[in-house]
A and B are shown apart, each in its own frame.
Chain A
Amino acid sequence: MNAKKQWAEMTWEEKRTERFKRWLTAPNIKFVSQEAEKLYTERVTRFARAFHLEKTDRVPCILPVSNFAAYYGGSDLRTVMYDYDELKRTWRKFLHELGDSDTFFGPGMVPSGKMLEILDYKLYKWPGHGISGDTTFYQCVEGEYMKADEYDALVKDPSNFWLRTYLPRVFGALEPLRNIPPFTTIEEIAIMSFVSYGRPDVQAAFEALLKAGRESMKWISAVMEVSQEATRMGYPAIMGGLSKAPFDTLGDTLRGTKGIMMDMFQQPDKLHAAMERIASLTIDSSLSSIGDSGVPIIMMPLHKGADGFMSMRQYETFYWPTFQKVIMAFVNEGIMPILFAEGGYNTRLDIIKELPKGAVAWWFDQTDMARAKKVLGDKACIIGNVPTSLLMTGTAQEVKRYCQNLIEICAPGGGYILSGGANIDEGDPDNLRAMMEAVKEYGIY
């Protein structure tokens, strides 16, 4: 009780220090060796200092890989989404053969294909399931999963909207959930409350949920096995949770790009109200998801606020307010948000620098890093941005030269982490090793 009260009274910096201390000391991890533990400590310290704009021994590096291990291990995404042994084998092979790196991404972003099939997930297509079998990434299907006239329903009772309208649309197996009454209709005299649960179609939907749950347990144990092994070997994870900007949540998978852009003109007030509602839901779910991971970092991939996607005025009106609210809720709980700005963010640099110093880190994709360093350099850690095109089609020497140039521009004074502009799934592993060579050769402070 006392500890909790103290937590509430702390400043965000004090909470940040506490959380980072826990990440550094890793109380629940049994390292494979003393050397591994030493390396873990060095690596976490390196990241922590870079995030907080302090100089460190050298520039840290996040190798930009998503499903790379699957292909490195001679398999493919389609296979490892269904075969968890292959998932473990390929990721472990990559883990053991890659060589030195500052962090390691476990296979947690590879969803279980079986689980998605059990629920008949409509929101994604994946190799062999809606897209060509050899594609290296699962993809979102653009659509209006929430209709233009459903804003009031969402704002009034989001859980009910999700359960009985949204989920039945995006999961074919949960379609029958339309037929159950809202949970809030279950009141004292619960005589009729459960009749609809006797319908065969509703029962099938719940069976599917149970089956998906059992499948997810198998999947998560495979994922955890690899992720924990990486940590025990001394590679810290740098993603404790995932989150999104409310505009993107609505624009990506509820109203769709076209829908939300029409709403900006035709029903801006309802759009604002929905984003406020989603902001508070996002904050709660992300904070609770980070609880156990021990990694005090939330990654936020950003989509529809990029250069060209909207004007500065529209960004300030529609995108930034609820995005900033979510960011600051994380910051105020001592969590470090890494804001991954896909596309370009050149026109947004002046507004995003308003966040408190050291509160967030910005991972840039196609943003001009020299300008980013100039505008943001004394406010936030910047991360990036070797182009995926170079990583996938260039030579190791070209990659190294590109990294050298980036380091010379971004490293002075601290607050820089070398990485890719986006992640890659295929390519020459030596191009990744070239990035590590670059930070060791050119990134020493």
Chain B
Amino acid sequence: MSGDLINLLADLKDREVLELVKQRLDAGEDPLEILGDSRKGIEIVGKRFAADEYFLPELVFSGELLKQVTEMVKPHLKKAVETKKLGKVVIGTVAGDIHDIGLNIVDFMLDVNGFEVTNLGVDVPKEKFVEAMQETKAPILGLSGFLTPAFDAMKETVAAVETVGMRDKIKIMIGGGQINEDIKKYAKADAYGKDAMEAVALAKEWTGVK
């Protein structure tokens, strides 16, 4: 039965998914199992995205579906969900830029792949990134930006991390609209990723997850 939920979610069969979740809850199953299966289903969605079988609409739709499943399961949870997290990642859209479609997809994909994500939102000043890195002690920072003003904002954010002496302790990835390998060099980041699954691959590589 668990295989069913994983595959139904991966295939985005929304009605069947919600029906099966209800059945399994009614049967008194461990809600954590249901959430675990759902997560596995979304991981398959991510893999299909990386393989160009799925695109942005499927990611968005699967995200909403997972949200609905989580809402259904929540009242049945007796204790807080303890998922094994692979590592912490701080992400945000840099100062002067308010775009967050890509940012939120990266958040979602890192989360379902087992990372503990701190999403600082949009138009984030460099000081706030530094503060969050110090507070969370996350080894990875992800900077998002859609427009050309992000070039300098990314560079300044990386420099701010360096100023407080954290640069060699963390890895920084960047991505978004006009961002590319040139800007990786310009901003002195460690990597550029073209989409959310590349962000997941980078985070896994940097935290030693196979």
Contacting chain B: which of A7-15, A36-44, A388-396? A388-396
- What residue in chain A is nearest B101 (Cβ atoms)? A257
Q: Which residues of B contact A131 (CB under 8 A)?
A: 96-98, 123
How far, in angstroms, from A424 to B180 measured CA to CA in the complex? 15
CB atoms of A393 and B186 under 8 A apart: yes
Interface residues on chain A, number (Cβ under 8 Å): 37
Contact of B96 (CB < 8 Å), options: A134, A388, A392, A422? A134
- What residue in chain A is nearest B148 (Cβ atoms)? A388
CB atoms of B147 and A389 under 8 A apart: no
Interface residues on chain B, number (Cβ under 8 Å): 30
How far, in angstroms, from A387 to B183 measured CA to CA in the complex? 11
Q: Which residues of B contact A421 (CB under 8 A)?
A: 178
How far, in angstroms, from A239 to B96 measured CA to CA in the complex? 28
Give the distance to chain B from A186, nearest Cβ to Cβ, in Å: 41
Q: Which residues of B contact A139 (CB under 8 A)?
A: 97-99, 147
Asked if A329 is at the interface of the complex by the 8 Å CB criterion, the answer is: no
Secondary structure dominating the interface of B: loop
Tell me the chain B residues, 153-184 only, with Cβ under 8 Å from chain A.
177-180, 182-183
Given contacts A261-B60, A388-B148, contact A132 B55 (CB under 8 A): no
CB atoms of A308 and B195 under 8 A apart: yes
CB atoms of A262 and B60 under 8 A apart: yes
Contact of B148 (CB < 8 Å), options: A141, A142, A265, A424? A424
- What residue in chain A is nearest B54 (Cβ atoms)? A311
How far, in angstroms, from A257 to B55 measured CA to CA in the complex? 13
CB atoms of A135 and B61 under 8 A apart: no
25 contacts between A and B (CB under 8 A): A131-B98, A132-B95, A132-B123, A136-B96, A136-B147, A136-B148, A139-B99, A142-B99, A142-B100, A261-B56, A262-B61, A262-B64, A264-B61, A265-B14, A265-B57, A311-B54, A342-B177, A387-B178, A387-B180, A389-B151, A389-B186, A392-B151, A394-B182, A422-B178, A424-B148
The 9 A-B pairs at the shortest CB distance, nearest first, are namely: A135-B96, A389-B182, A261-B57, A261-B60, A393-B186, A132-B96, A311-B55, A135-B149, A388-B178
A residues near B, CB below 8 A? Answer: 125, 127, 130-132, 134-137, 139, 141-142, 257-258, 261-262, 264-265, 308-311, 314, 342-343, 387-390, 392-394, 421-422, 424-426
